[in-house]
A and B are shown apart, each in its own frame.
Chain A
Amino acid sequence: MASSPEPARSTAPKSGEPSAGTLLSAADVARVVDRMAHQLIERCARGGGVAGDGAVNAAADDSAGLRDLVLVGIPTRGAPLARRLAARIEAFSAIAVDVGAVDITLYRDDLRLRGVRALEPTLLPDAGIDDRLVVLVDDVLYSGRSVRAALDALRDLGRPRSVQLAVLIDRGHRELPIRADFVGKNVPTSRAQQVKVHLQETDGTDEVLLIDGENQ
């Protein structure tokens, strides 16, 4: 895993905690997304392929696996990430992958604590998700509660053959028995810090920041 190319910001890090600053630059984000796209292609090839067959067969199985794949983003930033991954997969393998988004607001377990918020679109491919390989895509994996809510939402939307998880950043501190299958970058953090993912589509720029202080 490449380390952060930019030096930490001037804020003095508390002892034993990672320092605040830029975790990924725009170029890093693009590189990490590319790598995750390759990993997804590999995984689909392995999952769908029959071991020991010739290259032609393997290629055919490869595309069959990818056609089964649905990348489902968790809004806000999981949705554009899912679209980017799909675009990269298409660039590398010339196969268009289905993309969707699942808004989890109505499935959250912290609505009472944090109050209601505006909903975001839920969009599924026309072919649906039944009996397909769904990969949930999110920007940051933290407590795991968003993923749990997304799993609950998926259960109401159909019955995938298998569900996996891809995240750009895994910052630890899980509160549920959930792990990611594809991780862009593992970042050890303290609970007092925040990981901010900014994407071109939602924030006008690509970067991942680590910020000290819990709120804003």
Chain B
Amino acid sequence: MKRHLLEAADLDRADATLVLDTAAQIDAALVGREVKKLPTLRGRTVVNLFYEDSTRTRISFELAAKRLSADVINFSAKGSSVSKGESLKDTALTLEAMGSDAIVVRHWASGAPHRLAHWVRGSVVNAGDGTHEHPTQALLDAYTIRQRLGRLEGVRVAIVGDVLHSRVARSNVGLLHTLGAEVTVVAPPTLLPVGIGSWPVEVSYDLDAVLPKADVVMMLRVQAERMNASFFPSAREYSRRYGLDAHRMALLGDDAIVRHPGPMNRGMEIAAEVADSVRSTIVEQVGNGVSVRMAVLYLLLGGAPA
């Protein structure tokens, strides 16, 4: 394993499999236990440095670090010296001077974790940077898929929606490709990034044609906060062509599963009856997220300090 986890490409196939296997063992070891705590990272300090709002990811990282007995400092840009104009570098160096061993960072600027990794001695874990990457989300997607379907090799995954702005899509394409899955992205042409041709994916504009062949459908959130141009004519039209409703869900194979990284826009990209169906893995991913992040923290921090 590398010292940092900044993007899906930091994990080769062996590393990614190690993370998933470790998460599975942790899961199995903790299930049904009264004391859901392990002493592994006792005395280590993990800082959650969040420049962007988050519910799932921050709580999930916090819980993961605490279950491994690390000390956790939660830092959100709101209400800190960042509002007085302190830079990312100064903030990070301050946190490190206070003895942090790892920084889990979410930032609105793509690439911020990479810069951070050059400034600090500890490990940096990217918890989502701008429209770039969100590797632990991809790991938990891969983990959940493997748990439900029993394999990743050859699994056909359709990633549907706002691929252009989605760090989840970018990380998932990278990681799923590394692990041997076949990925198809489905989106209106305006929501596909320039250079999609160089990604290891198939591209389709027709959701109905892709669904019958898919083992996994991953719906992406339409990110209203990033919709600063007219990417599609109207929400209703987007929903009609690229939304997953009960009618479309019926096209899926019997074992196919539906994923969404959350937070969901119910009725927009995913209909409520789909989100709440048995195919949906949207709630179980929360528990899996903690196990996967425990595995990442253990593998990055458990060993010798670099």
Contact = CB atoms under 8 A, between A and B. Distances in A.
Nearest to A157: B33
B38 to A, nearest CB: 4
Nearest to B25: A119
Interface in A111-145: 111-116, 118-123
Interface stretch (B136-144, B201-209, B278-286, B297-305): B297-305
Contacts of A106: 26, 29, 38-40, 68, 298, 302
Contacts of B22: 118-119
Nearest to B21: A118
Most buried by A among B26, B37, B302: B302
B303 A119 contact: no
A214 interface: no
- Chain B, interface size category, equals 20 to 34
A115 B304 CA distance: 5
B35 interface: yes
A114 B68 CA distance: 18
Nearest to A109: B39
Contacts of A112: 303-305
A118 B40 contact: no
Most buried by B among A113, A114, A157: A157
Looking at chain B's contact residues, the main secondary structure is loop
A92 interface: no
Interface in B26-55: 26, 28-29, 33-35, 37-40
A6 interface: no
Given A103-B29, A111-B40, A122-B25, A116 B35 contact: no
B18 interface: yes
Contacts of A115: 302-304
Interface in A140-188: 152, 156-158
Contacts of B303: 111-112, 114-116
A116 B19 CA distance: 12
A121 B302 contact: no
Nearest to A123: B28
Contacts of A103: 25, 29
A120 B25 contact: yes
B40 A107 contact: yes
A76 to B, nearest CB: 13
A112 B28 CA distance: 24
Given A122-B25, A122-B28, A156 B302 contact: no
Contact of A116 (B21, B34, B302): B302
Interface string B103-130: 0000000000000000000000000000
A113 B305 CA distance: 9
Given A115-B303, A116-B299, A119-B22, A156 B40 contact: no
A54 B34 CA distance: 42
Contacts of B25: 103, 119-122
A121 B30 CA distance: 11
A112 B306 CA distance: 10
Contacts of A123: 28
B258 to A, nearest CB: 30
B4 to A, nearest CB: 15
Contact of A152 (B28, B29, B39, B299): B39
Given A107-B38, A107-B39, A118 B18 contact: yes
Contacts of A152: 39
Nearest to A126: B32
A119 B26 contact: yes
Nearest to A112: B304
Most buried by A among B18, B35, B39, B298: B39
A123 B305 CA distance: 31
Most buried by A among B18, B29, B298: B29
Interface string A96-114: 0000000100110001111
Nearest to A111: B302
A156 B26 contact: no
A113 B303 CA distance: 7
Interface in B263-306: 298-299, 302-305
A122 B38 contact: no
Given A107-B39, A114-B304, A156-B35, 5 more contacts: A112-B303, A115-B304, A116-B1, A156-B37, A157-B35
25 contacts: A103-B29, A106-B39, A106-B68, A106-B298, A107-B38, A107-B39, A107-B40, A112-B303, A112-B305, A114-B303, A115-B303, A116-B1, A116-B298, A116-B302, A116-B303, A118-B18, A118-B21, A118-B22, A119-B22, A119-B25, A119-B29, A122-B25, A156-B34, A156-B38, A158-B34
Q: Which 6 A-B pairs have the closest CB atoms?
A: A119-B25, A115-B303, A122-B29, A116-B302, A116-B303, A106-B40
Interface of A: 103, 106-107, 111-116, 118-123, 152, 156-158
